[in-house]
Each structure stands twice: as C-alpha cells, then as structure tokens.
A and B are shown apart, each in its own frame.
Chain A
C-alpha cells in the first residue's frame, strides 16, 4: 500500500518523532509506514487520518492506483 504520510508530515514541518508521539507509536514505525514497508492496522490508520484531519483513503491508496 502507498501513502502520502511523508508529504503530509513535511507540510506541517514535523519530524518522524513528532508524528510518532502524536500517534503513540515509535519513530521506527512511522519510518516503516512512510517507506511502504509496513501497512498499519486500522486503528493506527484512523489515528493517522485524525492527526492530519483527512480521510483514510486520502492518505492511503493501493499500489496499482
């Protein structure tokens, strides 16, 4: 799954650590999600959507999209 996490984070001038603290996960987890190496669970995806005030499908989308 692809995502716009890095772009959204950069727009807010947040570090990975800043975002990790807002989401209640480790920095390594934010890094893995940004690189597309790990797809978060639905609860974490909802927290990400909440932090960026966007819908999940505006942040995450399939590889072939």
Chain B
C-alpha cells in the first residue's frame, strides 16, 4: 500500500513525537537525580529531546518536497502568514516589555505562536483554493 505524502509525514512525525515523549522525562529525571555540574553533561541532557524534534523538522521538509505544486504553494502561504504573525508578536512584545507593560516570557512561546500561526495560515490558504 502506497502512502500519500501527508500520511508518510504523519507516520514519521508521530513516531518521532513518541520518541520525544519518552526521552523528555528521562532527560529531566536524569538531570534532577544526578544534578550534573559539568556543562557538557547538562548540554547533552538538554539536547537529547531535540534529536527527535530535529527528525520532525526534516520530515516537514520531506513532506513539502513530496507534495505537488498547489500543496507547496499552500505550505508557502501558511509559512509566510506564520512568520508575519510571529515577527509582529515578537516586536510588539519587545516594545511592551521595554516600556514595562508586560513581563519577560520564555522563548518557547515564540515557537508555540509560530506553530499555531503556521497552522492557521495553512487553513486560510487551503480555503482560498477549495
């Protein structure tokens, strides 16, 4: 049975996310249990959950390369929308922070907003062409 590009991506991404869900608590437990002082060990533990995420990133690139021209255009419009929203958010938050209106936040929120904006951008682009 041949899988569509989307199905292949889901298999790859879900597999990698399962590995991520297994590795993340292990890395946190190891850090809390051994409390390593060596920087390189802490870097190693912090980077461990990133390995499956790196695989997801390459899976996204493989997905886009396997897709046809309209699907690639939809991906591009989604990424463009997501990028614009994320940059706008970053600049707005940066100035609000500089004027002591909002507190400093973790960088992970930028990733979360980028991913959601990308997904919304893709939905909007999909609607345009259906």
Give A residues with C-beta under 8 Å from B.
Answer: 24-26, 28-29, 31-32, 37-38, 40-41, 44
Contact = CB atoms under 8 A, between A and B. Distances in A.
Interface residues of B, number: 10
B130 A31 contact: yes
* Closest CB pairs A-B (n = 4): A25-B68, A29-B70, A32-B129, A37-B129
Interface of B: 4, 67-71, 73, 128-130
Contacts of A32: 70, 129-130
A26 B71 contact: yes
Contacts of B128: 37
B69 A28 contact: no
A32 B71 CA distance: 11
